[in-house]
Amino acid sequence: MRHYFIFLIAAVFCFTSTSAQTSCSAYYPMVDGASFQYTNYDKKGKEDGKLSYKVTNVNGSGDNISATMVMDMEDKKGNMYSSEYDITCNGNVVKVDFKSLMNEQMLAQMGDVEMDISGTDVEWPNNLGVGQELPDGNVNVKMKMSGVMNMNMNVETINRKVEKKESVTTPAGTFDCFVIYSETKSKMMMANQTFPSRVWLAEGVGMVKQESYNKKGNLMSTSVLTQFSK
């Protein structure tokens, strides 16, 4: 279950940009019922699970909109996990509320656990440009699990930068994208790890592709948009 939660946090950092365009958000899903499916592949190109999103509970109008992202994750063994988190749009910036990850549905899937989450919300501005640096984000998790030792975990997304523009083709179509580089830095127990990644982001669609690398820069996993509707 601890592994599941770490995967969930990483998924939110990497996949918070799926979207249907509105006047408030160019890269976030602020339309009720919009849905997206991503297929994950390992470093050898073999299918390694799926990740689906659906937008619900859209409220507000103009430059102030909030919504809930419902996530369903399926690993390569067919195990299913679900969670949700809140996003808000205020003017030109969209934020992800990590505290909302600590919901009853997620805790129930982890068993007997008490959890405290804090940190800095991840921000995505509507106006992206090549060379632009984006704000860092982080989430701190303190868990008390029945029958095991307490665990503290910190996950940061750092060195976020818009590298270039590039056209990308996936099973869902061909898209003109911004390529955004970042590094995910995790600290848990005595282990510290940093994983670089790149996200291909298309206006009005959101994340089209994502690649994760090891510390040597070798490709470790890929996710691509395979279905979407809005």
Domain encompassing residue 141: 2-229
9-55 residue pLDDT tens? 555 555 544 333 445 667 666 788 888 899 999 999 999 999 898 88
77-90 residue pLDDT tens? 888 878 788 888 87
Q: Assign residue 51 the CATH number of its domain.
A: 2.40.360.20
pTM of the model: 0.80
Quote the number of domains for the chain.
1
User: Cα–Cα distances in Å, from 88 out to 97, 117, 121, 124?
Assistant: 8, 18, 10, 11
